[in-house]
Amino acid sequence: MNLGADDYITKPFSLREVVARVSVLLRSHSHEDNHLALCCGDLVLDAATNRVTIRGKLMNLRGVEYRLLEFLMTHTGRTFNRTQLLSRVWGGDTEVDERTVDVNVQRLRKILSERGYEAYIQTVRGFGYRFAPPTHTE
């Protein structure tokens, strides 16, 4: 039984606002159910089971490495600085140093390098990190 609340409306409220908010909640929950797996080539992050596989082989990730990869994969191509990653992956009230992001990115790259996927986590010099398939220039 879920006793939590996803939204709150103060009185007085309009029926139109209630209908709009319920519609948004229904769309967001159906959207979550339809996108339980994130894929990039043979790299698959299955949110339903919290497992990451590459070419069918299970990758052994710690919780923070999994959350970091999940966040970056859900925002493919977008660059995030250390502060943004700390806030969104570790949580805003955490007393963690910004260099923790660098350490965990390196750990994640090392794990992904076992199957040749380390280049998918890119460093944007002077700003931060992003997840994107490497571009092959010839």
**128 within 8 A of 85, measured Cβ to Cβ:** yes
Determine the 3-state secondary structure of 38 from DSSP. strand
pLDDT 10s digits, 17-39: 777 777 776 776 655 545 578 88
Instruction: Report the pLDDT value the prediction gives residue 138, as an integer from 0 to 100.
Output: 46
Rounded to a whole number of angstroms, the distance between the first and last alpha carbons of the chain is 56
CA distances 123 to 46, 72, 112, 119, Å, are 24, 12, 15, 9
Reported as a single tens digit per residue, the pLDDT across 68-116 is: 999 999 999 999 999 999 999 988 666 788 889 999 999 999 999 988 9
What's the pLDDT score for residue 93? 61
Between the CA of residue 92 and those of 19, 45, 81, 85, 132, what are the distances in Å?
Answer: 31, 24, 14, 10, 25
Fold of 62-131: Arc Repressor Mutant, subunit A (1.10.10)
Other C-beta atoms lying within 10 Å of the C-beta of residue 123: 13
| HEC profile of 46-75 | ECCCCEEEECCEEECCCHHHHHHHHHHHHC
Size of the chain, expressed as the number of residues it contains: 138
Q: Domain coordinates of the chain in residue numbers?
A: 62-131
pLDDT at 129: 96
CB-based burial, 106-119: b 16+ in 10 Å, e otherwise: eebbebbeeeebbe
